[in-house]
Homo-oligomer: A and B are copies of this chain.
Amino acid sequence: MSAVDYQVDGKTYEGWLVKPEGKTNAPVVVIAHAWGGLTDNEKQKAAIVAKEFGYAAFAIDVYGKGKRGETVEQCQALMNPLVGDRAELQKRLAGGLAAAKAQDGVDGSKAAAIGFCFGGLCVLDMARANQDVLGVASFHGLFRPAENIPQPKIKAKVLIEHGWLDPMATPEDFLAISKEFAGADWQAHVHGHSYHSFTTVGANNAEMGTMYNADADRRSFAYLKTFLAELFG
């Protein structure tokens, strides 16, 4: 595993690559980060993808090298401009995807993307923008539509792993995305008892509604394995 610098539009971004042992030409899973930027959480998910599922994992960075948030204010300051400018976000996502596919020992023809919280919105945008991925899986992602793609015609397979009690993606938001994605091959795996951040080990902020949930974490990743196997078949 190693940090990997890459360029998009002349700016430097820092990703994180983990390859499965003893495999060459492995399919690659892009990992899109939560609002704090690429941190240990995304690295933990990359390790699962490589070690337990046997695919290459490339955690991308849509903020820029060295730009990471810790406080709520810092994270919002990094995330909000991109949530509000989806064309710019999608450009950075495309750059990250291209970097993932360009890594040595990776089969760039077989790519998927998974993302967490803000990263869920990111991978749903990769699907909305028809970036070259076989499928995307959002974990406790934000559903807010992309203002630059009002009627997406989605080709990628879509999996939405969703906590039903997530205050940032309500049942009303769920109904809305079910309509937006009606033309896509979409599935949702809904976890009744779960809040936002259910896969984020250590999340424990009842006031914000961000809570790790071991059951939903385990169950969502079990189904992710099935989903990726279908994509990469």
Contact with B along A184-199 (1 / 0, CB 8 A): 1111111111000000
| A226: contacting residue among B187, B193, B222, CB under 8 A | B222
Binding site for B on A (CB under 8 A): 158, 164, 171, 175, 178, 181-182, 184-193, 215, 219, 222-223, 226, 230
Number of copies: 2
Contacts of A192 in B (CB 8 A): 158, 178, 181-182, 184-188
| A219: contacting residue among B175, B191, B219, B226, CB under 8 A | B226
Contacts of A158 in B (CB 8 A): 192
Complexed CA–CA distance, A181 and B165 (Å): 13
User: Do A190 and B190 touch (CB < 8 A)?
Assistant: yes
Q: A185-B192, A187-B190, A187-B192 are in contact. List 13 more A-B contacts (CB 8 A).
A: A164-B178, A171-B175, A178-B190, A185-B215, A186-B192, A186-B193, A187-B191, A187-B219, A188-B188, A188-B189, A219-B226, A222-B226, A223-B226
User: Do B178 and A171 touch (CB < 8 A)?
Assistant: yes
Complexed CA–CA distance, A192 and B184 (Å): 8
Residue of B nearest to A215 (CB): B185
Give me 30 A-to-B residue pairs in the complex whose CB atoms sit less than 8 angstroms apart, sorted by A's number: A164-B178, A171-B175, A171-B178, A178-B190, A178-B192, A181-B192, A182-B192, A184-B192, A185-B192, A185-B193, A185-B215, A186-B192, A186-B193, A187-B189, A187-B190, A187-B191, A187-B219, A188-B189, A188-B190, A188-B192, A189-B189, A189-B190, A189-B223, A190-B190, A219-B226, A219-B230, A222-B226, A223-B223, A223-B226, A226-B226
